[in-house]
Structure 1
Amino acid sequence: MTVKEFELPDVGEGIAEGELVSWQVSPGDTVSEGDIVAEVETDKALVEVPSSYDGTVKELFAEEGEMVPVGDVIISFNVEEPEAGDAEAEAPDTENKPGESTEEAKTDTEEAASAETPDGRVFAPPAARRLARELGVDISDVEGSGPGGRVSEADVRAHHEKAEEHDETAAETPVNPAAEDESAGASAGAAASTTATSGEAAREKTLAVPATRALAEELGVDIDAVPTEKTRDGQPFVEREDVRAFAQSGGEAAEAATASASATGEGAREETVPYRGVRRTIGEQMAASKYTAPHVTHHDTAVIDELVETRADLKETAEEKGTRLTYMAFVLKAVVAGLKEYPILNSELDEEEGVIRLKNYYNIGIAVATDAGLMVPVVKNVDEKGLLELADEINDLATRARERSISPEEMQGGTFTVTNFGAFGGEYATPIINHPETAIIGLGAIEQRPVVEDSEVVPAHTLPLSLAIDHRVIDGAEAAKFTNTVKEYLAEPTKLLL
């Protein structure tokens, strides 16, 4: 048995450190190469870290929530290395021994093959293991249908559905609840195990995400004493709702916390939130952009009655093709048309070389609000794609950005950015340029507003626009002309087809 140490790899270009968000394994767990052992949040995205070894987890060297530099050892494994000459010894003898039946020989062969695999070893790809964790399925209970018993995602789903059917059947049978114990400590012990007594301790190990553990600590609850029927990888798994329910049930520690809160008559007046990961990177980049590039914002409004009608006409056709057609696809096309006429807005200032780099390609960033902060996935080569293709890609990138499953590469290489604060009801703003780009356009809410046509005030659908520029590179006149071009294409969207 050899101990192998595993260092935090560079999970993204230029990444120096990452926050270890959660462990997916515990000491003693058996893992295969490619199994996900941890989730790490970098300054760009949340990524999964796979194991490089087949073996057993020996020790974890970092705590959840800890910032870990790339190259630091985060986990070690006990790895069984085959000795020379073991290949022949491990091969099962399929020939019948004297007096041995064919059936007995077959059984011996199966046992020998089973002995080659360490206890608890399950052949399954990372995708199947991830799905098992999401569904709360113990992967070792799943019967694999693939070669050598390999477990597929379909096997996991089938096992989960079968378990749910069993649970529904069992739920129809009345069950007598265990009698409550007068002792709070005994109550916690009984909740932890169906055979527990007042003298027994709580579970030795409980799986829970950091937010759940923080809530348990806040309420003074021993997380190992919280009852749960949910499991992950064969271990008890506790969620926030379980902790709250246990606290309300009157655990000793929970009662103390409740009494303390009652004594003060109010909750904590302040709380702290870590400033790191994606949130810190956003802050640093925004500060660098704002204090490096002199920002000027140009405001205007596009009248888009024809665009509203065009989208309404195409929406049903798009849905028949499985596409959700939004205004953003039209906006990107209009922006690219404007950038082609005024390429200075599709540029980058290289101060070290003393040059302005004009980009002859159009990679448009789409600012997306997520729980971790503003993320900007990039739609590459917008000028080469049709409306429906753009709509599909925009929806896909935005969804995966919110789910934190987007890769760092998909948020790099932008030449211009669009941000849609109108989705939250705003009209105008002063957006900060996504450095090292030199311009960003913000979209307000599309609404009917009064406009003047032929000396009369009439209602019309309008789209407020807020264009921020780096005044070192772009003049106000160029900003105004670019915005007028974008307005023209939005007002007459059929021109985009030309």
Structure 2
Amino acid sequence: MDIIMPQLGETVAEGEILLWHKAEGDVVKKGDALFEISTDKVAMEVPAMENGVLTKIIANVGEVIPVGEPVALLAAEGDELVFEGKETALASSGGLSRAVQAEAEMLKPMLSDEVNVRLIASKHRLQGGNGLFSPAVKYLAAKYKVDLSVIAGRGYDGRITKRDMQAHIQQISTRLNQDAFRDQEALALEDDVLAQLSPSVRRLVTEHGVNINHLDGTGRYGRITESDVLSYLDGDAALASRATQASQTSPVSSLPILIKGKAVAFTLMRKQIARQMASSVQNAVHVAQGMEVSFDAVEDVRQANKMAFKKRYGCSLTPLAFVARAVVKALQAFPHLNGQVGADKLVLSVPIHLGIAVDLSHQGLVVPVIKHADTMNVLGLARQIAELATKARENRLTPDDMSGATYTLSNNGGSGTAFTTPIINHPEIAILSIDSIVRKPVVVNVNGRETLGIGSVGMLVQSFDHRAVDGAYSGAFLQQVKSMIESHDWQGEL
């Protein structure tokens, strides 16, 4: 059976292989960690879904593989392995037999060089099950009742390709003199096959009315790629048009690099962050507003409770939790900042799902989401922030942890920044940066007279999409946040 690159979120299109926990020939139990991957959203381990033996690793460490593409082959229970012509059946139930485990362990040192290991496809897979064939091959085999065991595959690693199938069907049509078989349109793939193409390829062939039987797939195992479609459309002109579109959303400069030095390749996460940020700048009309806020009320309560809070709950009581609470309350009063924005409309969310930007030791940035933050007080928000930050830094975030944000907070204060203008996490409407809180001279009112004193002061900066709201609306929201931070009964929240 194929082990494929999993779908980790609706917008994730590919993943990078970071590490293999198993080697070719290893016995694998259901739930064992097989490999680790990194996407623009999350880094995580992928477990085995079945008991079996890992017969082949297709994708090496460092390779970026599209979602749904195979990364390895697993001989699962009920399949067969051939070791130097000797068939060894895996137990069909109750886990791997001791004999199979012992033989796999014995043969493991020889697998890379001396032993020819190949997966024998079972009958149901040749008939179009979830086996080693592409959707196009399985569709054509079912439609024209083709016995795949008689076809010699000319694709990668002996795979049967769509072209092999078409050639075989043409031979049948010539022999049987059936016009329907000779008609190339009879080989057109129907909607269920088209739906299994990648979203970008499906969009291109649909928009331009391309018959995918006219395309030569150059991707892994003969899969049709974006480049294949673009090359077919208008040759160099289409590719140039696509390159122009890409340059509008890509942060990579087209100017040549004129200096010498060490080249540091972008990681997949860095590339995805770059694309997301460039897309946000390109699509959202960014405006930033900052407001200086007194944190005296927050700091009085925080300093008085932080030791007991840490001892009781095992996490820190940070200013971020207080700001998060104030933001949630303000969003309830200013709902046009809570949601997502399209080309000509807002989609406003009643629940508040708060994204919290987390730095991964300067290697990248992820934004886990506190779902239904409007149902939590400072205590609940502080614990949620700590839990998500820990999961992020330990690569334990799930796709659900990363999706659905309606507003985002970016906490830059730990670095000592005084003023940061954040980039909106598009398609959200706004994002708030919390910069450092410092002790500084402030004007205070004592018995009706102004005098100088020392206070805890920080800057809050909101970037918002001017298509969605205006500066007055954003400013009123910030004023609401400021008012709550400065005057709320924070002790009652703990």
What corresponds to 1:60 in structure 2?
57
Q: CA deviation at 1:485?
A: 1.0
| Equivalent residues, number | 323
The code of the aligned residue for 2:12 comes to I
Distance, in Å, in 1 between the alignment partners of 2:368 and 2:427 is 15
Q: Which of residues 386, 409, 412 is equivalent to 1:395? A: 386
Moved over 4 A (4+): 113-121, 495-498
| Deviations 1:196-249, CA, capped at 9 Å, x for gaps | xxxxxxxxxxxxxxxxxxxxxxxxxxxxxxxxxxxxxxxxxxxxxxxxxxxxxx
Q: CA deviation at 1:61?
A: 1.3
Q: Which of residues 318, 332, 335 is equivalent to 1:326? A: 318
What corresponds to 1:336 in structure 2?
328
User: Residues 349-360 of structure 1: matches in 2 within 5 Å?
Assistant: 349-351=341-343, 354-360=344-350
| Deviations 1:141-179, CA, capped at 9 Å, x for gaps | xxxxxxxxxxxxxxxxxxxxxxxxxxxxxxxxxxxxxxx
What corresponds to 2:401 in structure 1?
410
Distance, in Å, in 1 between the alignment partners of 2:386 and 2:425 is 21
What corresponds to 1:7 in structure 2?
4
User: Residues 56-95 of structure 1: matches in 2 within 5 Å?
Assistant: 56-79=53-76, 81=78
User: Residues 366-381 of structure 1: matches in 2 within 5 Å?
Assistant: 366-371=356-361, 372-381=363-372
Partner SS, residue 270 of structure 1:
coil
Unaligned runs of 5+ in 1: 92-112, 122-267
Q: 1:5 to 1:355 in 2, by over 3 A?
A: closer
User: Residues 235-314 of structure 1: matches in 2 within 5 Å?
Assistant: 270-314=261-305
Partner SS, residue 476 of structure 2:
helix
Distance, in Å, in 2 between the alignment partners of 1:50 and 1:491 is 48
Q: CA deviation at 1:289?
A: 1.1
Q: CA deviation at 1:28?
A: 2.3
Distance, in Å, in 1 between the alignment partners of 2:481 and 2:260 is 48
Q: CA deviation at 1:360?
A: 1.4
Distance, in Å, in 1 between the alignment partners of 2:372 and 2:76 is 46
- 1:444–1:463 contact (8 Å) kept in structure 2: yes
Distance, in Å, in 1 between the alignment partners of 2:92 and 2:341 is 64
What corresponds to 1:463 in structure 2?
458
Distance, in Å, in 2 between the alignment partners of 1:79 and 1:345 is 50
Partner SS, residue 401 of structure 1:
helix
User: Residues 211-230 of structure 1: matches in 2 within 5 Å?
Assistant: none
Distance, in Å, in 2 between the alignment partners of 1:495 and 1:298 is 26
| Deviations 1:355-401, CA, capped at 9 Å, x for gaps | 22222111111111114311111111112113222111100101111
What corresponds to 1:51 in structure 2?
48
What corresponds to 2:471 in structure 1?
476
What corresponds to 2:224 in structure 1?
none
Q: 1:493 to 1:311 in 2, by over 3 A?
A: farther
Partner SS, residue 388 of structure 1:
helix
Partner SS, residue 390 of structure 2:
helix
Q: TM-score normalised to the size of structure 1? A: 0.60
Q: Which of residues 307, 318, 328 is equivalent to 1:316? A: 307
Q: CA deviation at 1:272?
A: 2.9
Partner SS, residue 450 of structure 1:
strand
Distance, in Å, in 1 between the alignment partners of 2:433 and 2:8 is 32
- 1:27–1:58 contact (8 Å) kept in structure 2: yes
Distance, in Å, in 2 between the alignment partners of 1:34 and 1:410 is 21
| Deviations 1:106-145, CA, capped at 9 Å, x for gaps | xxxxxxx854754578xxxxxxxxxxxxxxxxxxxxxxxx
Q: CA deviation at 1:269?
A: 6.1
User: Residues 118-267 of structure 1: matches in 2 within 5 Å?
Assistant: 118-119=102-103
Q: 1:399 to 1:120 in 2, by over 3 A?
A: same
Q: Which of residues 439, 442, 453 is equivalent to 1:448? A: 439
Q: CA deviation at 1:442?
A: 0.8
- 1:19–1:68 contact (8 Å) kept in structure 2: yes
- 1:333–1:496 contact (8 Å) kept in structure 2: no
| Deviations 1:458-487, CA, capped at 9 Å, x for gaps | 211111111111111111111111111111
| Deviations 1:239-266, CA, capped at 9 Å, x for gaps | xxxxxxxxxxxxxxxxxxxxxxxxxxxx
Q: TM-score normalised to the size of structure 2? A: 0.60
Quote the sequence identity (%): 34
The code of the aligned residue for 2:281 comes to K
| Deviations 1:412-453, CA, capped at 9 Å, x for gaps | 111111111111010111111111111111111111111112
Q: 1:116 to 1:301 in 2, by over 3 A?
A: same
| Deviations 1:319-349, CA, capped at 9 Å, x for gaps | 3422421111111110112112211221322
Distance, in Å, in 2 between the alignment partners of 1:336 and 1:82 is 54
Partner SS, residue 313 of structure 2:
coil
Q: Which of residues 419, 433, 443 is equivalent to 2:424? A: 433
Q: 1:78 to 1:348 in 2, by over 3 A?
A: closer
Q: Does 1:382 align with 2:377?
A: no
Partner SS, residue 444 of structure 1:
strand
- 1:489–1:496 contact (8 Å) kept in structure 2: no
The code of the aligned residue for 1:283 comes to A
Distance, in Å, in 2 between the alignment partners of 1:60 and 1:116 is 20
The code of the aligned residue for 1:491 comes to E
| Deviations 1:257-311, CA, capped at 9 Å, x for gaps | xxxxxxxxxxx96333332422212111111111211111111111121211111
Partner SS, residue 63 of structure 1:
coil
Distance, in Å, in 1 between the alignment partners of 2:286 and 2:379 is 34
Distance, in Å, in 2 between the alignment partners of 1:114 and 1:280 is 46
- 1:330–1:493 contact (8 Å) kept in structure 2: no
